[in-house]
Amino acid sequence: MHKKNVAVLCGGYTAERNISLGSGEVVMKNTDTEKYNSYKIIVNEDLWIVDPQNVAVDLDDFSCVIDNEKIKFDVAFMAIHGSPGEDGKLQGYLDMKKIPYTCCGVIAASVTFN
């Protein structure tokens, strides 16, 4: 069985960043490793980093290179509190890349963010 590559998106750039990083850790610890390859991605305004490998995410195709292997992410698990996850920005990016994700869409997020 092919294991899906799951991008666990956490961090962000609001005061809720540290809470989001903790949420990302919880998701990573509780993901079924027999079914999924999970990658913790710390989202910053200027750069997304795969942790702990400390490699950048290529936002052109939502992938990264680890140990000379290109990894394309199949799905995004949203563990972002605040922007850019709760306001629809990440959803817009993922929609453009045709990557499924685990939360509401762009419109619902953008009109309900406060």
For residue 72, the model assigns a pLDDT of 98
Residues of the chain with pLDDT under 70: 113-114
For residue 110, the model assigns a pLDDT of 77
Residue written as token pair 């960043």:
17
Query: What pTM was computed for the model?
Result: 0.92
What residues does each domain of the chain span? 4-112
CATH architecture of 4-112: 3-Layer(aba) Sandwich (3.40)
Which class for 78: exposed (0-12), middle (13-18), buried (19 or more C-beta within 10 A)?
A: buried
pLDDT in tens, 89-107: 899 999 999 999 998 777 7
